[in-house]
Amino acid sequence: MPSEHDQHNINVIKGLIMDATRRANSGHPGGAMSSADFAYILFKEYLKFDPQDPDWPDRDRFVLSAGHESMLLYSLLRLVGYLNDDDLQSFRQYKSRTPGHPEHDLTPGVEATTGPLGQGFAMAGGLATAEQFLRGTWGEEITDHYTYVLASDGDIQEPVCLGSAALFGQWGLGRLIVYYDSNAIQLAGPTARCDCADKRRLFESLCWQVIEIDGHDHEQIRTALDQARAETTRPTLIIGHTTIAKGSASLEGSADTHGAPFSEEEIAQTKVKLGLSSELFAIPQETEDAFRDRFPLLRQTADDWRLRLQQRQQNDPAFAQAWERQHRPVLPAEITWPEFETGSKVATRKAFGKCLESLIEQLPHLVGGSADLDPSNQTATWREKVGIFGNQNPAGRNLCFGVREFPMGAVVNGLALHGGVVPFGATFLVFSDYERNALRMSALQKLPALHIFTHDSFHVGEDGPTHQPVEHVSSLRLIPNLLVFRPADANESRACMELALQQKDRPSALLFTRQGVPVLPAAQTPELQEGVGRGAYIVQEAQDGAPDMIFMATGSEVHLALEAAQQVDPGRIRVVSMPCLELFEEQPLEYQEQILPASVTRRVAIEAGRTDMWYKYTGRYGLVIGLDHFGDSAPAGDLVEAYGFTPEAVAKSVRRHFAS
């Protein structure tokens, strides 16, 4: 089709962008208009997808990292047929399929929920990592697609972007292609006010192929895409130099167009300039037909793939079983877990390490790694046995993240978004702050990812307050849809791991101790699993019958609660382990009453962290023993004494509190 026809179709998209943001009285038209040339050509001529099935497994992935340009993506998805006119007209409205920033579980064709800048870029690398791993595992006849990204100046400025870019260059993600719409404008004004970086030299130093083009020149766009697809050992950054609000009547190059709709007068004048109808949300039939002229080939490509998959499943039962298993949560009966000796002392991080090692053969699609804390996070043996992932070893399952917690969290999210793998990332709990927004995005996107955190309390010891988490457990519990597991011992750790692997639509944060804790007398495995699965259960009942006091605790403080109860009055005290408050809150009120009967008002909660959240369970007059201050640099044993986390100190506090 002649270029002028393509340009008219691009102008139609710009009209949709202007109309939708104006009707919503909210949105970001400028960047969407400057990126429209590239996005249109990518979708119309290059992107592999099934027009009838947005979830076709071997589709190319497109991630709009510049999530504020959402109306550009929605306009393209309307031309694809995944969205309709009503969707465009309800942009940014309550419960519409076209929210202000793309949401992958809400809108067909959206691969990742983006908005917080830089994370779409990082998640896209996770998608490309999954593709490279699965291609190395199954071959190109089953996995053979690209991951494309549209990024903005703001994306590139975010440290999570550059941190993850270093990983993707190191890993040689040759099928990751990022288009950087460099319009030199951001919300506050010209990028030159805050950024002097030479992006070409910067990304080349990170082992990327870099191509610079005029982002409005269609032939340069096509040539750049061809060069990017031909490069197999390096990711590619295409720097498209563009003009924000390209095509507007009087606002080209204006920062005012970044985050505010055009006036009605500006839209009318721009439509005249672009040769568009004054009709709102107009899509000429010839534009839709031209955009879809490749659809018969796309449908045939998808159908051919399905036939290949079916034939391989029929001819290779092992593959068929593995394929089915890779596309659903883990079933409890599929895993044999390690055993732990009652009475021994095992750090729950070491219990995690043993569980991880047991999964090497049993869960061959488990992939992940540590943020440069392999020995501390107990992932060193895992790394040595499964191999290090990279272009030269695409079937390697250990991801060497380096000291990059935030990129790690976002990459894990991308792996989960792709599907076919079970991803995990590990670091110290105190550094969960660094990746917090990735954890939030994990929960928001309903991703069954595993986020591992060790060294979960002041027992870190000599490393001091910078490394001793205080508020972090409570902080994680504030994130909706995130399961926070803090197991009491090795057996609970195993049970929590099993539950995390069973999740379909929510991530898990698993918090493990540095120090050894006693392996409690194990209940029968089904009973333990049921108790942990309900978030809280009785680990020791009052010896004299119905209790008149309840001790509740998590993690390493459960054994402390048990010992303190013996000193106070074992005949009258029930001890409850609460490894996951979120699961406990989901239980029927009958079960909650069974564990924490309202008639027992004398309650004590013990956790080595902030106390605030526990008053929900103890009541206003209950006792919460925790830590509401920063730690100190000293041996852990000294801190236990200083902070009152001994059985004697707890017993004394309980007697004093309830003396009246």
Read off the pLDDT of residues 362-397 as tens digits, 9 standing for 90 and up: 999 999 999 999 999 999 999 999 999 999 999 999
Domain range summary for the chain, segments of one domain joined by +: 3-298, 332-518, 530-657
Tokens 């076709």 locate to 56
Residue 521: pLDDT band with limits 50, 70, 90: confident
Q: Residue 484 pLDDT > 80, yes or no? A: yes
Q: Residue 334 pLDDT > 90, yes or no? A: yes
28: annotated binding-site residue? Answer: yes
pTM for the whole thing? Answer: 0.97
For 286-328, what is each residue's pLDDT tens digit? 999 999 999 999 999 999 999 999 999 999 999 999 999 999 9
413: annotated binding-site residue? Answer: no
Residue 2: pLDDT band with limits 50, 70, 90: very low
For 553-607, what is each residue's pLDDT tens digit? 999 999 999 999 999 999 999 999 999 999 999 999 999 999 999 999 999 999 9
Q: What is the mean pLDDT of the chain?
A: 97
Tokens for 543, please give them.
């010896």
Q: Residue 545 pLDDT > 90, yes or no? A: no
- In this chain, the answer to whether the domains covering 3-298 and 332-518 adopt an identical fold is yes
Angle at 398 between CA 111 and CA 376, to 5 degrees: 115
Q: Residue 162 pLDDT > 50, yes or no? A: yes
115: annotated binding-site residue? Answer: yes
For 388-398, what is each residue's pLDDT tens digit? 999 999 999 99
Query: Can you give the pLDDT at residue 660?
Result: 65
User: 3-298 sits in which CATH class?
Assistant: alpha beta
CATH 3.20.19.10 at 332-518, yes or no: no
Tokens 């698993």 locate to 510
602: annotated binding-site residue? Answer: no
d(CA 50, CA 399): 31
Q: Residue 1 pLDDT > 60, yes or no? A: no
Query: Can you give the pLDDT at residue 4?
Result: 84
68: annotated binding-site residue? Answer: yes
Q: Which of 279, 226, 273, 223 lies closest to 248, judged by CA? A: 273
| Burial (CB count <10 Å: 0-12, 13-18, 19+), residue 213 | buried
Strands, sheet with 61-64, edge to edge from the N-terminal-most edge strand = 61-64, 147-152, 176-182, 236-241, 209-214
Q: Residue 473 pLDDT > 50, yes or no? A: yes
d(CA 388, CA 129): 12
Which CATH number does 530-657 carry? 3.40.50.920
281: annotated binding-site residue? Answer: no
The residue type found at 614 is W
622: annotated binding-site residue? Answer: no
Query: Can you give the pLDDT at residue 526?
Result: 81
CA 99 to chain centre: 19
For 487-496, what is each residue's pLDDT tens digit? 999 999 999 9
% residues pLDDT > 90 (the chain) = 97
Give me the active site residues, please: 405
Q: Residue 522 pLDDT > 80, yes or no? A: no
116: annotated binding-site residue? Answer: yes
436: annotated binding-site residue? Answer: no
Q: Which of 544, 536, 542, 552 lies closest to 594, judged by CA? A: 536
d(CA 313, CA 612): 54
Mean pLDDT, range 499-514, rounded to an integer: 98
